[in-house]
Amino acid sequence: MPEEIVKPAFAGRDRPLISHGVPYPEAASRHLRESFQASRVYVICSGTLGRTTDVMKRLSDALGQMLVGHRIGMTSHTLWSEVLQITEEARVVDADAILTVGAGSLTDGAKIVALALANDIYTPEELETLAQGPNKRANIKAPSIPIISVPTSLSAGEYSNFAGGTEDNSKRKYSFQHPTRGPQLVIFDPELVKSTPDSIWLSTGVRAIDHCVESLCAIEGTTPESDELARRALSLLVPGLLRCKKSREDREAHLQCQLGSVDAMAACTGGSIELGASHGIGHQLGPLGVGHGETSCILLPAVCKFNAKYNANREQQNYVRQFLNRDPAVSEVLRARSVDETESDLGDVLDALFRELGMPRSLSDVHVGRDKLDELAANSLHDRWCKSNPVPLTEKSQVLEILEMVV
């Protein structure tokens, strides 16, 4: 019999726990009963998995009468309308736990649902009072319902106590922060994630790389511990993703990427690191129909080049470039793509890696036209990570300069 490995995701924090080694239905059923004493579980399942695989049947068999409701699929970037629908369904069945199986938008949705349930939220106007902004209410109750997640991407939102949700009409993405809570348990199943499309698995892996790069290149808040976590994550993610690109049957490579995504999130959330514009602009690019990971594929190299142009963090970028180039898998890619290691900058190295993974590298690749740039730039200025970019983005023209590089 396989042995389950359960341990805290982060040093010094009891939760979230991560589990791997046994199939996800078995792990979820056991922990819901024994660790969380749950008896009424609401499941939010990926649309693709719910419609094309036996995920829900396996969960139903494992959970039995504990399964009291489910939702198949959520729109990317977590629309408020869907959050409110799920909140009402979970309220009606008196759910005492939420289980998600799928990618990051589902996890963000579950976080906001749990927060909305705790605060008796029914309408978009009421939901806005839980989000960051001028209408945020003074007293917000912390969620009491635990979330258990089985991720099928590498975006790593499962390890954050923040969530992003998109208001349907304005398409603006709002941030939900304290006292929002992330999952208490994250279950890895490399067998399950082999079915995740390359476009999602590899691009969200790039998202995890983005966590590492913007952490290492930050000019405030880094620590020796955060740097070590980011380096360790990169040493797992970069070769792991290249192996996954070659073979989606490589179970070890998939688990390696999952473990790397944990360290990547630990690196950028453990202290007071201020991330940058790849995350900031990406938050607002997402509601235009661009996947979480794809935003990093497009923006990160350009943001690195922008920051280097204005002499903000060249020393940090050169360090990351040298670290990446020491990996034989990276050197092989650079040679194959005729990128000179001595003449290239960090943006060039990242560009070569992302192209090797087959990822989109421009806004046109993801069908975002020039007509969207002005609104995208204006919305980005509201994002905290644009303000904390090594070159703080305070003018629309600065965001447009980055966007022009990738148009």
Closest CA to 368 of 356, 360, 358: 360
> Which residue, 155, 190, 225, sits at the end of a domain?
190
CATH number, residue 15? 3.40.50.1970
Walk across the sheet containing 185-187 and list its strands.
5-8, 17-20, 185-187, 147-151, 97-102, 41-45, 67-72
> What is the arithmetic mean of pLDDT over 268-289?
88
14 and 132 both lie in a single domain:
yes
Burial class (CB within 10 angstroms; exposed 0-12, middle 13-18, buried 19+) of 207: buried
> What is the arithmetic mean of pLDDT over 221-237?
95
> What is the arithmetic mean of pLDDT over 210-227?
94
205 and 186 both lie in a single domain:
no
Count of beta carbons in the 10 Å neighbourhood of residue 404: 12
> Which residue, 190, 217, 245, sits at the end of a domain?
190
266 and 184 both lie in a single domain:
no
What is this structure's pTM?
Answer: 0.88
Mean pLDDT value across the chain: 94
Give the pLDDT score at 400. 98
The identity of residue 143, as a single letter, is: P
Give the pLDDT score at 291. 85
Radius of gyration of the chain (CA): 20
Tell whether the model's pLDDT for residue 255 goes beyond 70: yes
Tell whether the model's pLDDT for residue 266 goes beyond 70: yes
Give the pLDDT score at 333. 98
Give the total number of structural domains in the chain: 2
178 and 203 both lie in a single domain:
no
Instruction: Give 328-346 pLDDT, tens digit per residue.
Output: 999 999 999 999 998 999 9
140 and 201 both lie in a single domain:
no
Give the pLDDT score at 77. 80
Tell whether the model's pLDDT for residue 53 goes beyond 70: yes
Give the pLDDT score at 269. 77
387 and 289 both lie in a single domain:
yes
211 and 320 both lie in a single domain:
yes
Give the pLDDT score at 11. 87
Tell whether the model's pLDDT for residue 1 goes beyond 70: no
> Which residue, 135, 161, 190, sits at the end of a domain?
190
Closest CA to 380 of 366, 399, 362: 399
160 and 121 both lie in a single domain:
yes
127 and 43 both lie in a single domain:
yes
180 and 299 both lie in a single domain:
no
272 — pLDDT class (breaks 50, 70, 90): confident
Q: Hey, what are 183's tokens?
A: 């999952």
> What is the arithmetic mean of pLDDT over 12-32?
95
Give the pLDDT score at 222. 92
**Rounded Cα distance, 393 and 395, in Å:** 6
CATH number, residue 306? 1.20.1090.10
Pairing of the two strands 173-176 and 163-166 = antiparallel
Count of beta carbons in the 10 Å neighbourhood of residue 170: 10
Domain enclosing residue 393, as ranges:
197-405
> What is the arithmetic mean of pLDDT over 338-356?
96
Tell whether the model's pLDDT for residue 270 goes beyond 70: no
> What is the arithmetic mean of pLDDT over 34-62?
95
**Rounded Cα distance, 257 and 263, in Å:** 10
Tell whether the model's pLDDT for residue 104 goes beyond 80: no
Provide the percentage of residues in the chain whose pLDDT is more than 90: 87
150 and 225 both lie in a single domain:
no
180 and 303 both lie in a single domain:
no
